[in-house]
Protein backbone atom coordinates (compact mmCIF):
# COMPACT_ATOMS: atom_id res chain seq x y z
CA UNK A 1 0.00 0.00 0.00
CA UNK A 2 2.81 2.43 0.91
CA UNK A 3 4.46 1.80 -2.46
CA UNK A 4 1.21 2.60 -4.29
CA UNK A 5 0.83 5.87 -2.37
CA UNK A 6 4.46 6.81 -3.09
CA UNK A 7 4.09 6.07 -6.81
CA UNK A 8 0.82 8.03 -6.91
CA UNK A 9 2.45 11.03 -5.15
CA UNK A 10 5.46 11.05 -7.51
CA UNK A 11 3.10 10.75 -10.50
CA UNK A 12 1.04 13.72 -9.32
CA UNK A 13 4.16 15.84 -8.79
CA UNK A 14 5.61 14.95 -12.20
CA UNK A 15 2.28 15.60 -13.89
CA UNK A 16 2.09 19.04 -12.25
CA UNK A 17 -1.13 18.18 -10.41
CA UNK A 18 0.49 18.45 -6.98
CA UNK A 19 2.18 21.68 -5.89
CA UNK A 20 5.88 21.19 -5.54
CA UNK A 21 8.29 23.96 -4.54
CA UNK A 22 10.48 24.97 -7.45
CA UNK A 23 14.20 25.27 -6.93
CA UNK A 24 15.35 28.44 -8.60
CA UNK A 25 18.96 27.21 -8.59
CA UNK A 26 21.73 27.02 -9.14
CA UNK A 27 22.74 27.56 -5.53
CA UNK A 28 26.10 28.29 -4.00
CA UNK A 29 26.51 26.41 -0.75
CA UNK A 30 28.67 27.76 2.06
CA UNK A 31 29.81 24.81 4.14
CA UNK A 32 30.76 25.20 7.79
CA UNK A 33 33.34 23.21 9.67
CA UNK A 34 32.42 20.17 11.74
CA UNK A 35 30.19 20.85 14.75
CA UNK A 36 29.14 24.30 13.44
CA UNK A 37 25.45 24.71 12.61
CA UNK A 38 23.56 27.55 10.92
CA UNK A 39 20.04 27.90 12.42
CA UNK A 40 18.47 31.02 10.85
CA UNK A 41 19.17 33.94 8.53
CA UNK A 42 17.47 37.33 8.17
CA UNK A 43 17.08 39.57 5.10
CA UNK A 44 20.34 41.38 5.87
CA UNK A 45 22.20 38.08 5.69
CA UNK A 46 22.90 37.89 9.44
CA UNK A 47 23.17 34.25 10.48
CA UNK A 48 22.71 32.74 13.93
CA UNK A 49 23.93 29.30 14.81
CA UNK A 50 25.89 27.30 17.32
CA UNK A 51 29.20 25.49 17.63
CA UNK A 52 30.65 22.87 19.93
CA UNK A 53 33.56 23.75 22.16
CA UNK A 54 35.17 22.09 25.19
CA UNK A 55 32.25 20.69 27.23
CA UNK A 56 29.83 23.34 26.00
CA UNK A 57 27.76 24.60 23.09
CA UNK A 58 27.92 28.30 22.27
CA UNK A 59 25.88 30.43 19.94
CA UNK A 60 27.12 32.91 17.39
CA UNK A 61 26.04 35.76 15.17
CA UNK A 62 27.71 35.99 11.77
CA UNK A 63 27.43 39.44 10.17
CA UNK A 64 29.35 40.34 6.99
CA UNK A 65 32.00 37.74 7.82
CA UNK A 66 32.37 38.94 11.43
CA UNK A 67 31.86 36.21 14.02
CA UNK A 68 30.36 37.26 17.39
CA UNK A 69 29.99 34.57 20.08
CA UNK A 70 26.68 34.47 21.98
CA UNK A 71 26.72 33.11 25.53
CA UNK A 72 23.97 33.70 28.07
CA UNK A 73 25.65 35.37 31.07
CA UNK A 74 23.82 33.17 33.62
CA UNK A 75 24.56 29.83 31.95
CA UNK A 76 27.86 28.00 31.69
CA UNK A 77 27.23 25.06 29.40
CA UNK A 78 24.86 25.72 26.47
CA UNK A 79 23.43 28.70 24.59
CA UNK A 80 21.70 28.07 21.25
CA UNK A 81 20.18 30.90 19.18
CA UNK A 82 17.39 29.56 16.95
CA UNK A 83 15.97 32.64 15.23
CA UNK A 84 16.80 36.20 14.18
CA UNK A 85 14.56 38.91 12.74
CA UNK A 86 15.45 41.87 10.51
CA UNK A 87 15.94 44.14 13.56
CA UNK A 88 18.67 41.76 14.78
CA UNK A 89 16.63 40.45 17.73
CA UNK A 90 17.66 36.89 18.53
CA UNK A 91 15.67 34.15 20.29
CA UNK A 92 16.96 30.86 21.57
CA UNK A 93 17.49 28.63 24.55
CA UNK A 94 20.03 28.21 27.28
CA UNK A 95 20.56 24.93 29.05
CA UNK A 96 22.45 24.31 32.27
CA UNK A 97 20.68 22.75 35.24
CA UNK A 98 17.39 23.52 33.43
CA UNK A 99 16.17 24.82 30.10
CA UNK A 100 15.27 28.47 29.71
CA UNK A 101 14.40 30.59 26.70
CA UNK A 102 15.86 34.00 25.93
CA UNK A 103 15.44 37.09 23.78
CA UNK A 104 18.67 38.93 22.96
CA UNK A 105 17.91 42.50 21.90
CA UNK A 106 20.44 45.33 21.68
CA UNK A 107 22.94 43.36 23.77
CA UNK A 108 20.52 42.57 26.60
CA UNK A 109 19.39 39.03 27.46
CA UNK A 110 15.79 38.69 28.67
CA UNK A 111 14.62 35.32 29.99
CA UNK A 112 11.22 34.35 28.59
CA UNK A 113 9.82 31.23 30.22
CA UNK A 114 6.20 30.23 29.79
CA UNK A 115 4.49 30.37 33.21
CA UNK A 116 2.74 27.02 32.73
CA UNK A 117 5.73 24.85 32.06
CA UNK A 118 9.36 24.11 31.68
CA UNK A 119 11.36 23.72 29.54
CA UNK A 120 10.49 26.65 27.30
CA UNK A 121 12.02 26.86 23.82
CA UNK A 122 11.79 29.90 21.53
CA UNK A 123 12.05 28.87 17.88
CA UNK A 124 11.75 32.08 15.87
CA UNK A 125 10.88 35.79 15.96
CA UNK A 126 9.28 37.87 13.23
CA UNK A 127 9.73 41.56 12.43
CA UNK A 128 6.71 42.51 14.58
CA UNK A 129 8.48 40.95 17.59
CA UNK A 130 6.12 37.96 17.78
CA UNK A 131 7.87 34.88 19.06
CA UNK A 132 6.93 31.25 18.42
CA UNK A 133 8.02 28.39 20.60
CA UNK A 134 6.87 25.59 22.82
CA UNK A 135 6.97 24.48 26.44
CA UNK A 136 6.62 21.20 28.28
CA UNK A 137 4.47 20.32 31.26
CA UNK A 138 5.07 17.95 34.18
CA UNK A 139 3.66 15.02 32.15
CA UNK A 140 6.09 15.48 29.27
CA UNK A 141 3.48 16.95 26.91
CA UNK A 142 4.59 19.79 24.63
CA UNK A 143 2.48 22.86 23.77
CA UNK A 144 3.19 25.41 21.06
CA UNK A 145 2.59 29.11 21.61
CA UNK A 146 2.87 32.55 20.02
CA UNK A 147 4.07 35.34 22.33
CA UNK A 148 2.98 38.78 21.14
CA UNK A 149 4.56 41.91 22.64
CA UNK A 150 2.06 44.02 24.55
CA UNK A 151 2.04 47.57 23.19
CA UNK A 152 -0.25 50.10 24.89
CA UNK A 153 -2.93 51.52 22.62
CA UNK A 154 -2.60 55.24 21.79
CA UNK A 155 -5.87 55.95 23.61
CA UNK A 156 -4.48 54.41 26.80
CA UNK A 157 -1.36 56.58 26.60
CA UNK A 158 -3.46 59.71 26.03
CA UNK A 159 -5.69 58.93 29.03
CA UNK A 160 -2.66 58.24 31.23
CA UNK A 161 -0.93 61.45 30.11
CA UNK A 162 -4.09 63.53 30.65
CA UNK A 163 -4.53 62.08 34.14
CA UNK A 164 -0.92 62.83 35.10
CA UNK A 165 -1.16 66.41 33.80
CA UNK A 166 -4.41 66.89 35.75
CA UNK A 167 -2.83 65.60 38.97
CA UNK A 168 0.20 67.84 38.56
CA UNK A 169 -2.00 70.87 37.82
CA UNK A 170 -4.17 70.19 40.89
CA UNK A 171 -1.10 69.75 43.08
CA UNK A 172 0.39 73.03 41.84
CA UNK A 173 -2.83 74.91 42.75
CA UNK A 174 -3.02 73.48 46.27
CA UNK A 175 -1.90 75.95 48.95
CA UNK A 176 1.34 74.98 50.61
CA UNK A 177 1.31 74.04 54.27
CA UNK A 178 3.73 75.23 56.69
pTM above the 0.85 mark? no
How do residues 147-173 score in pLDDT, each as one tens digit? Answer: 888 876 666 667 666 766 766 666 666
Percent of the chain with pLDDT over 70: 68
Percent of the chain with pLDDT over 90: 35
Average pLDDT over every residue of 63-79? 87
- The answer on pLDDT for 88 being more than 90 is yes
Of the CA atoms within 13 Å of residue 93, those in its CB half-sphere come to 21
| Dist CA 86 CA 59 (whole Å) | 18
Q: How far from chain centre, in Å, is Cα 109?
A: 12
Higher model confidence: residue 131 or residue 178?
131
The domains of the chain, with CATH numbers, are 35-173 (2.130.10.150)
Find all residues with CB under 8 Å of 78, minimum gap 6, and list them. 56, 57, 58, 93, 94, 95, 96
Higher pLDDT residue, 92 or 151? 92
Amino acid sequence: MQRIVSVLFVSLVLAGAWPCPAWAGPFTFTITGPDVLFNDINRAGQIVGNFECDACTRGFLLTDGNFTPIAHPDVFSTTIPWGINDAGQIVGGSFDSGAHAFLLSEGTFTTIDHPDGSPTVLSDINDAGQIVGYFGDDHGDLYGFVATPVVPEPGTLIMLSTGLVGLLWRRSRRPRRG
